């Protein structure tokens, strides 16, 4: 056993590691591992958020109730524009479509698109109502809508007149059918969201790679975290670098989305109609909010680890009466940045 | 010494994450630089520096029925300088078309989109304003704003109010054209130095099976109002 009054030589000290160069090496390695942990945190959070954004649930959540009101108004205007030149009273299309049905159709359409399934929007009931209104209007205008049967007629009709009459009725009925089909087609087109097919395609491709991205990010983070701790003999020193890592993870995940949020370029999107623009704004804003929320988790962990570092360090210092006797030099106990 | 060490440790909790973040963003920027310009160009295609107005956005009218008429320049033939006229933009109401005899009182807008035709008469932007000595081509729906055209007769007087002057036109011809015939006629007479007000709408007014291809066209010549001088080569 060594004489307690004789200072230990560095070669007998457990913390002996080549002195200053060893400390610098430990610091450099710790920084590298810590940086890698920060990168893996950023990668993991980005991967998760992108997965969340390219999903059916998120897409539906971005559709505000006002979307359907705007859609209904736009649809009625388009129907009016289509109806006017025909000579049909444009009020026949008023309130044909209700927002509850639109919402249901839209959610089913979005769900089917994400599942790569075809969804047929059923407009049979609205079509029947519209047809009835059109025929009521035509009857009020005295337009013949039913063929005549000479046998049922009280007046004798010649064959040519009957044929001309029935031809006109058939043309009217065909025109009405075409008109109703066009209005229903307007509705079906309005339910579809532009670029959704593209989002679904990208999302589904991404879903294939997502598990690998997560596993790689997590493993990478864990391995680097482990080595970050291993480089230091005392746990609170290794933990300090993990605090830097989580702090960096917070900054990386938070900063750019926050800057974009402040810039607000998405509020100046040149897209119409207004309800679709609001949907796109909500979509982008929601994604940015997710980044900012997730980043708070890293910040919270960084704070907890920081507190843990302080506790462990205090515990360590209290347990040492004289640091030199325990073989831990005062230099070892200082942070990298001293001097 | 111990205090400095403590402060340094605390500061490290701030600047180390900042340094890591900067390095990470630099790496990402360098890695994605080839795609950055493409992405930035794509985003700039869909955004503007300020909120833009589209044709679907409500624009306030420039027409003001109480506006002071434009200054009339004294000459052999008095005229209004085109530079004193506030030329309308797409979707802006710039005038009012009135014919009391048939009960017509229609706002007139520059351009003829679906949006505009819901609100009033739209002017084909390839024609010029009243007073300019050229064709003025207006269209509107037959069930709404141009419904009174069915009651119009040759000799009826139509008033066209604008901010700069009040013009009157006398109906000279009412005819039903096929849409292609009308188009050809317009092309043929578009650049003639004769001010003619042409109003057209779908024909017949009643329901017709199939798409309507005929147009009821009302033509009127100017009978009052000042010329607008707009061609630079014209001598005083």
One domain, residues B211 and B99: yes
One domain, residues B83 and B126: yes
CA–CA min distance A85, chain B (Å): 7
Q: Considering the domain boundaries, does residue B153 fall inside one?
A: yes
- Name residues 274-293 of chain A within 8 A of B (Cβ): 274
One domain, residues B101 and B203: yes
One domain, residues B223 and B168: yes
Q: Rounded distance, CA A167 to CA B133, Å?
A: 49
Question: What residues have CB less than 8 Å from B204, skipping those under 6 apart?
Answer: A87, B212, B214
Among A155-159, A331-335, B231-235, name the one with the lowest average pLDDT.
Answer: A331-335
One domain, residues B40 and B77: no
Residue showing tokens 């769900």 = A111
One domain, residues B84 and B39: no
Instruction: Give the domain CATH number at B155.
Output: 2.40.260.10
pLDDT of residue B234: 53
pLDDT of residue B232: 62
One domain, residues B3 and B80: no
> Cβ separation of A85 and B23 shorter than 8 Å?
no
As a whole number, mean pLDDT of residues A252-260 equals 94
Comparing CB atoms, the residue among B11, B13, B24 nearest residue A247 is: B13
* Proportion of chain A above pLDDT 70, given as a percent: 88
> Cβ separation of A244 and B20 shorter than 8 Å?
yes
pLDDT of residue A155: 67
Q: Considering the domain boundaries, does residue B225 fall inside one?
A: yes
Q: Is B35 on the interface with A (CB under 8 A)?
A: no
pLDDT of residue A161: 83
pLDDT of residue A165: 86
Residue showing tokens 């950023």 = A42
Q: Considering the domain boundaries, does residue B131 fall inside one?
A: yes
> Cβ separation of A175 and B209 shorter than 8 Å?
yes
> Cβ separation of B46 and A87 shorter than 8 Å?
no
Instruction: Give backbone dihedrals phi and psi of B229, rounded to 5 degrees, phi first.
Output: -90, 115
Most confident of A202-206, A325-329, B187-191: B187-191
Given a cut of 50, the residues of chain B with pLDDT beneath it are 53-56, 236
Contacts of A256 in chain B (CB under 8 A): 25
* H/E stretch holding B38: helix B2-46
Q: How distant, in Å, are the alpha carbons of A12, B138, B140, B177, B179 from that of B213?
A: 105, 17, 15, 9, 6
Task: Report whether B120 contacts B132 (CB < 8 A).
Answer: no
pLDDT of residue A335: 41
pLDDT of residue A264: 86
pLDDT of residue A17: 46
Contacts of A259 in chain B (CB under 8 A): none
pLDDT of residue B211: 76
> Cβ separation of B12 and A265 shorter than 8 Å?
no
Residue showing tokens 């997730």 = A294
pLDDT of residue A220: 93
One domain, residues B43 and B100: no
Q: Is B141 on the interface with A (CB under 8 A)?
A: yes
Q: Considering the domain boundaries, does residue B56 fall inside one?
A: no
> Cβ separation of A269 and B47 shorter than 8 Å?
yes
> Cβ separation of B141 and A85 shorter than 8 Å?
yes
Angle, alpha carbons A175-A180-A182 (nearest 5°): 95
As a whole number, mean pLDDT of residues A96-104 equals 91
Q: Is A169 on the interface with B (CB under 8 A)?
A: no
Q: Is B30 on the interface with A (CB under 8 A)?
A: no
One domain, residues B86 and B153: yes
One domain, residues B39 and B128: no
pLDDT of residue B61: 83
Q: Considering the domain boundaries, does residue B137 fall inside one?
A: yes
Task: Report whether A280 contacts A271 (CB < 8 A).
Answer: yes
pLDDT of residue B143: 85
- Name residues 10-49 of chain A within 8 A of B (Cβ): 31, 34-35, 38-39, 42
Task: Report whether B99 contacts B156 (CB < 8 A).
Answer: yes
A33-56 pLDDT, tens digit each: 999 999 999 999 999 999 888 888
Q: Rounded distance, CA A71 to CA A62, Å?
A: 15
Q: Per-residue pLDDT for A302 more than 90? A: yes
Of B107, B115, B123, the closest CA to residue B65 belongs to: B107
Contacts of B18 in chain A (CB under 8 A): 248, 251
Contacts of A168 in chain B (CB under 8 A): 209
Q: Considering the domain boundaries, does residue B60 fall inside one?
A: no
One domain, residues B4 and B42: yes
ipTM over 0.95: no
pLDDT of residue B62: 85
Which range marks the domain in which residue B99 is found?
72-229
pLDDT of residue A15: 46
pLDDT of residue B43: 76
For chain B, what is the domain count? Answer: 2
pLDDT of residue A205: 85
Q: Is A77 on the interface with B (CB under 8 A)?
A: yes
Q: Is A250 on the interface with B (CB under 8 A)?
A: yes
Q: Considering the domain boundaries, does residue B65 fall inside one?
A: no
- Using DSSP's 3-state secondary structure scheme, residue B82 falls into helix
A123-149 pLDDT, tens digit each: 999 999 999 999 999 998 888 888 887
């Amino acid at each position: 056993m060594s004489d307690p009054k004789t200072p230990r030589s560095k070669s007998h000290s457990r913390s002996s590691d080549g002195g200053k160069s060893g400390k610098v090496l430990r610091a450099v390695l710790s920084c590298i591992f810590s940086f890698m942990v920060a990168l893996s945190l950023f990668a993991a959070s980005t991967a998760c958020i992108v997965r969340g954004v390219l999903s059916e649930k998120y897409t539906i959540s971005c559709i505000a109730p006002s979307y359907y009101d705007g859609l209904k108004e736009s649809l009625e205007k388009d129907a009016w524009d289509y109806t006017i030149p025909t000579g049909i009273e444009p009020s026949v299309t008023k309130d044909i479509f209700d927002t509850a049905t639109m919402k249901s159709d839209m959610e089913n359409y979005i769900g089917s698109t994400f599942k790569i399934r075809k969804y047929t929007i059923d407009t049979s009931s609205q079509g029947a109502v519209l047809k009835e209104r059109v025929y009521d209007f035509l009857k009020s205008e005295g337009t013949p809508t039913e063929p005549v049967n000479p046998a049922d007629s009280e007046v004798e009709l010649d064959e040519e007149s009957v044929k001309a009459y029935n031809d006109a009725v058939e043309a009217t009925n065909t025109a009405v059918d075409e008109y109703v089909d066009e209005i229903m087609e307007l509705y079906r087109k309005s339910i579809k969201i532009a670029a959704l097919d593209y989002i679904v395609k990208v999302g589904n491709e991404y879903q294939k790679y997502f598990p690998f991205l997560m596993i790689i990010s997590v493993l990478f983070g864990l391995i680097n975290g482990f080595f970050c701790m291993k480089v230091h003999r005392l746990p609170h020193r290794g933990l300090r670098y993990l605090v830097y890592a989580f702090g960096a993870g917070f900054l990386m995940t938070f900063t750019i989305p926050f800057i974009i949020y402040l810039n607000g370029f998405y509020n100046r999107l040149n897209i119409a109609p207004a309800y679709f623009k609001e949907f796109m704004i909500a979509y982008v804003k929601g994604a940015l909010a997710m980044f900012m929320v997730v980043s708070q988790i890293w910040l919270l962990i960084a704070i907890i680890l920081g507190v843990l570092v302080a506790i462990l360090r205090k515990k360590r210092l209290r347990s040492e009466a004289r640091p030199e006797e325990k073989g831990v030099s005062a230099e070892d106990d200082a942070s990298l940045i001293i001097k | 010494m111990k205090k400095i060490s403590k402060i340094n440790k605390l500061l490290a909790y701030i600047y180390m994450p900042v340094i890591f973040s900067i390095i990470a963003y630099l790496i990402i920027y360098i890695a994605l630089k080839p795609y950055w310009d493409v992405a930035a160009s794509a985003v700039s295609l869909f955004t503007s520096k300020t909120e833009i107005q589209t044709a679907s956005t409500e624009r306030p009218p420039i027409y003001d029925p109480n506006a002071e008429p434009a200054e009339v320049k004294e000459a052999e033939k008095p005229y209004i300088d085109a530079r004193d006229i506030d030329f309308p933009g797409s979707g802006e109401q710039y005038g009012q078309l009135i014919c009391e005899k048939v009960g017509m009182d229609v706002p007139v807008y520059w351009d003829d989109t679906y949006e505009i035709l819901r609100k009033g008469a739209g002017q084909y932007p390839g024609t010029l304003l009243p007073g300019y000595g050229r064709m003025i081509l207006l269209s509107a729906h037959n069930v709404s704003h141009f419904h009174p055209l069915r009651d119009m007769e040759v000799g009826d007087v139509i008033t066209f109010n604008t901010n700069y002057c009040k013009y009157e036109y006398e109906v000279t011809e009412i005819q039903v054209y096929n849409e292609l015939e009308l188009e050809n006629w317009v092309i043929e007479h578009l650049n003639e130095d004769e001010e003619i007000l042409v109003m057209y709408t779908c024909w017949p007014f009643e329901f017709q099976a199939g798409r309507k291809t005929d147009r009821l066209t009302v033509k009127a010549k100017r009978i009052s109002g000042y010329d607008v001088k707009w061609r630079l080569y014209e001598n005083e």
